[in-house]
Amino acid sequence: MTVQTQTVTAKDVDEAFLRIQQTVKQTPLEKDHYLSMKYDCNVYLKREDLQWVRSFKLRGAYNAISVLPHEQQAKGITCASAGNHAQGVAFTARQLDLHAVIFMPVTTPNQKVSQVQFFGGNNVEIQLIGDTFDDCLKEALSYTQAHAMTFIDPFNNVHTIAGQGTLAKEILQTAAEDNISFDYLFGAIGGGGLMSGVATYFAANSPQTQLIGVEPLGASSMHAAVQQQQVVTLPNIDKFVDGASVARVGEITFNICNRLLSDYVQIDEGAVCSTILDMYSKQAIVAEPAGALSISALEQYREQIKGKNVVCIISGGNNDINRMKEIEERSLLYEEMKHYFILNFPQRPGALRQFVNDVLGPKDDITKFEYLKKSSQNTGTVIIGIQLQNHQDLQQLIANVNAFDPKNIYINENKMLYSLLI
């Protein structure tokens, strides 16, 4: 198999499996009783969050690097990554004693940057550059050419794709041992490497399984490509689901996914946050945003999967603990439980008490209150956050706020104001 073939076969995945099996952990395939009861089906989780680098990316990185001729390895390798691919490259560089220069966006969570250094040790040099993966990629390719090194593509490389496909081989091996046949498989799509490898192996060995690619709503580059039947570059993306926020998928991955995948699902970033919190509280699984995508998609397929056997790939667990407050906030906004307003407050004693009595319901809570008193005016501006216990109370809350101040501004509907003030 060579990069020039621009395709991957099940045989390539089998060969990659033999190549990596002594280094890469065979992660468990576990039935999840909570999700199975919730969706009235049999949900199995492929736990790539338990991989050595806490994501599936080690598979593709190790395979792509290990097939390089010795003289290429000796010149060193490079990569561009939002974090997980970088960890896979770093781990491999240390295992094979190679020099690696790893380019990461400036916006990459600190937890992922520190993990790359940890896994790579003295074999790795990290360069933080650019706001997005695509900016970072341009710099990495320029550096690679200037220094005659080898670039290890995170997804648009047949060896990377074959490596990612090895987890599909593990899924089917375990399923065969337990006499299970899967009706549906859900997996995240960023650049498309994971689902390209998985789809290639399932198409050859479990063709009855419907393969569903799941993308963040704000970075659905594969769905856009399929709609237009060509690879496109999204002008703007939401970078929150950092492991799957790619503005342009690969030509190779597009061709494979377009041919083999059954459907594509786009998940609101807020829904991903709700899934992360639910997984942590109900299943004690710490998933990163991209790792939670596959489970988030089950809600949209609730009717189709009833009584079926379903596998979800938990693609990664590199979640920075410092992001949890933002995750909780996004979840509450998505669930319509938290609401922000700008109000004109009367500058007189008892005004706040009147607001509480006239506007808030018995179980509503004020979570934010910023008030600037102006001595020369009758009113002062207030930024107030209110959390509901039941999202069905929203219309009554808005009616009460409008009665208190007809000129109020509902911040939730204004992304620019929300970013500035909240």
Residues 200 and 197: their CA atoms lie apart, in Å, by 5
Same domain, 215 and 292: yes
Query: What's the order of all strands across the beta sheet hosting 184-188?
Result: 29-31, 42-47, 309-314, 184-188, 210-216, 263-267
Mean pLDDT of 102-117: 86
The overall average pLDDT reported for the chain is: 94
Does residue 170 form part of some domain?
yes
- Those residues whose C-beta lies under 8 Å from the C-beta of residue 137, and which sit 6 or more positions away, are 80, 103
Does residue 245 form part of some domain?
yes
Residues 7 and 398: their CA atoms lie apart, in Å, by 55
CATH number of the domain that 392 lies in? Answer: 3.30.70.260
Q: What per-residue confidence (pLDDT) applies to 311?
A: 98
Check pLDDT > 70 for residue 5.
no
Active site residues: 57, 315
Check pLDDT > 70 for residue 41.
yes
Residue type, position 11, single letter? K
Same domain, 97 and 197: no
Same domain, 119 and 170: no
Same domain, 92 and 195: no
Q: Is there a contact between 243 and 270 (Cβ–Cβ < 8 Å)?
A: no
Same domain, 285 and 184: yes
Q: Which of 90, 117, 148 is the last residue of a domain?
A: 148
Does residue 2 form part of some domain?
no
Residues 39 and 109: their CA atoms lie apart, in Å, by 33
Q: pLDDT higher for 402 or 415?
A: 402
Domain count, the chain: 3
Check pLDDT > 90 for residue 185.
yes
Total residues belonging to the chain? 422
Check pLDDT > 80 for residue 372.
no
Tokens for 239, please give them. Answer: 């970078």
Q: 205: domain range? A: 10-56+158-327
Report how far apart, in Å, the C-alpha atoms of 219 and of each of 76, 80, 194, 225, 273 are: 32, 18, 16, 12, 15
Residues 85 and 154: their CA atoms lie apart, in Å, by 6
Rg (CA), the chain: 24
Mean pLDDT of 83-112: 91
How many Cα neighbours within 13 Å face the side chain of 315? 33
Same domain, 121 and 91: yes
Closest CA to 356 of 400, 390, 394: 400
Mean pLDDT of 127-132: 87
Same domain, 108 and 139: yes
Query: What's the pLDDT tens digit per position in 211-268?
Result: 999 999 999 999 999 999 999 999 999 989 988 999 999 999 999 999 999 999 999 9
Same domain, 133 and 179: no
Q: Is there a contact between 41 and 51 (Cβ–Cβ < 8 Å)?
A: no
Same domain, 346 and 311: no
Same domain, 211 and 317: yes
Does residue 67 form part of some domain?
no
Residue type, position 34, single letter? Y
Does residue 356 form part of some domain?
yes
Does residue 176 form part of some domain?
yes
Does residue 371 form part of some domain?
yes
Confidence of residue 382 (pLDDT cuts 50, 70, 90): very high
CATH number of the domain that 112 lies in? Answer: 3.40.50.1100
Same domain, 189 and 319: yes
Query: What's the pLDDT tens digit per position in 273-314?
Result: 999 999 999 999 999 999 999 999 999 999 999 999 999 999
- DSSP letters spanning 75-121: H-EEEE-SSHHHHHHHHHHHHHT--EEEEE-TTS-HHHHHHHHHHHG
Mean pLDDT of 131-147: 88
Q: Which of 86, 114, 148 is the last residue of a domain?
A: 148
Q: Is there a contact between 112 and 84 (Cβ–Cβ < 8 Å)?
A: yes
Percent of the chain with pLDDT over 90: 83
Tokens 């603990």, located at residue:
321
Same domain, 114 and 253: no
Report how far apart, in Å, the C-alpha atoms of 94 and of each of 77, 80, 86, 316 are: 12, 17, 12, 21
Q: Which of 304, 327, 350 is the last residue of a domain?
A: 327
Does residue 1 form part of some domain?
no
Least reliable range by pLDDT among 22-36, 127-141, 325-339: 127-141
Tokens for 104, please give them. Answer: 């990461």
Check pLDDT > 50 for residue 3.
no
Q: pLDDT higher for 206 or 2?
A: 206
Q: What per-residue confidence (pLDDT) applies to 2?
A: 42
Q: What per-residue confidence (pLDDT) applies to 6?
A: 81
Q: What per-residue confidence (pLDDT) applies to 242?
A: 86
Least reliable range by pLDDT among 131-145, 318-332, 370-384: 370-384
Q: What per-residue confidence (pLDDT) applies to 377?
A: 73
